[in-house]
Chain A
Amino acid sequence: MALKLADYKTDVHNDWCPGCGDFGIVNAIQMALADMGIQRDKAVMFSGIGCSGKTSHFINTYGIHTLHGRVLTFAQGAKITNPELTVVAIGGDGDGLGIGAGHFVAAGRRNVDMTYIIFDNGVYGLTKGQASPTLKLGEQTKSLPSPNTNYNVNPIGLAVASGFTFVARGYSYDIKHLKDLIVQAVNHKGLSFLDVLQPCPTYNDINTRDWYAGVDLMDEAQKRHSRIYKLEETGFDPVVHYADEVEINEKLSQSLIKSLEWGNKIPIGVFYKNDTISPYITRLQDKIPNYMENPPSKQNISKNGHSNTDISKILDSLEV
């Protein structure tokens, strides 16, 4: 039976602030799951802590609401032990790029076949609006006592540098585009990263929905100039077409340059896609030939209530 969009929604009350950008993201995830027809009980949403962390409760698949900064660790453990699962990890920018930055970098190096979506709003919402790692130096959102004293992290650049093999940015108020990005990210064989710009209407009074829409940039003819533009509409080619150092370096460099664009022109879309790097499970399979058909979660570990593992050869080598 084909699944409908409604099948991916739970009846859990959603307590995000009215007008929160998170609503668009959760809708886009549900739409993407429905689009791909992924069985609900073959998918797991892992989430971190903060407003975005509640997302796993709103999606009707397996949902694991983990710890602050640690979502990738749980998610990788599940995917490695059961490679059949569709795994999506979700968290805020503070969660993934502040407390969880070490895991972010290490996950890139592993390239486990799953998707990581960061809800990027520049503030710590649930603790009342402190500066997050993506807020620019010197900016002062409304609940900060003084301007931000830290330089911002560049999520796209960090992902590319860390080894993520699919790196894209979406915008929470362009749901259809975001949904398409999520579909591409989930279908990518390797670790995909989606940085989703998401206005926080309560605490971020700088990067608001109107700001992204370029209301302040209106010209004399009252014509809007949205700050956001789509990379794919500019002929930008993010794909590494063949496994060659020059080709890879070129695609890496152009994505990094693009990731630095901010201010009046903010690119969304796919920055980088490299299918020439092996996913982590393939690396395990190189050592353990039957890993895919007999991964840890599928292994039978007992016979008649006793161990069925034969360690006699190792014991022989220790016997005197």
Chain B
Amino acid sequence: MSAEPAAPAPAPPRRPFFLLRGRFWVACLPWAWLLLFFLLPFVLIVNVSLSTPDLAVPPYVSPFSQPQAEGQPALPPAFNPDLGSYRRLGDEVADLARPGAELQYLRAFGNSLLLAALTTLCCLLVGYPFAWHIARSAEGTRNTLLMLVMLPFWTSFLLRVYAWMGLLDSSESGLINQALLALGVIDAPLQLLYNSGAVLVGMVYSYLPFMVLPLYANLVKLDMRLLEAARDLGARPWTAFVSITLPLSWRGIVAGSMMVFIPAVGEFVIPDLLGGGGVLMIGRRIWDDFGPNQDWPMAAAVAVVMVLLLIVPIMVFHRHGDRGDGASEAGP
């Protein structure tokens, strides 16, 4: 007797989209969030960057708008981008080789990238021992130590920067100068504020938690027996660190560095307050163009270029983020 062919299972009736299962909506949420709060604003910024500056409210003419004279029939929609802002940036690049060129945007870009890179490096050097120590502490004390790392977040960011100004104040009333004078280490107050050192200290101080937290999350998972195995096999402590700990915490290093580098590029409050505004940052340029200069297309163009400049290295990082890691991957 042959088996009866199974009747095709009736397809479940399609549900209207608003009755789709909860899983669908959960998956939707991050996409909707990104669409609404990242992609859409970014498209708007790109649109502004392609506009023509104008003395109006808002101070630009959209590339989609058509001049319409009184009484004339409306013209069909068209797209007339104004590349003037990008061209100004391009001209600066072309001017790079010319001595004495002003290069106000490129210089700002360079300053910001340099400061961000230095901040990231210092945060890494300071934050790695931090994270290592917390990850190696007894389980009970870890949360306390993490809390201490995050404690500064409970006060206003600006307040903390002003506190640094008080500390570094270059007059005799600056706290550090006071202490050094009282101890007789120095005779005259040191110029601590309004220089690049002060900016770097402020930056590292402000961004350190962003480095410590991802590094900690990574290092706490590191299997200590791997280090014991390395030691047992003859590795001195430094060799064990370089050949085992460092490659296995690569992802934490990348994550922490991005968490510091990316916001640090756009930072301009700390350089303004602690550096005295002497060094122009790209964030400051955007602020000025949107504000006092009323050149929205230019500011938008700089913002777009900045996003692109950041996204490309991140993608490269991500492509190589798996380097030196096999522990967390499933076998093929």
Q: Is this pair of chains taken from one and the same complex?
A: no
| Chain A positions near chain B (C-beta within 8 angstroms) | none
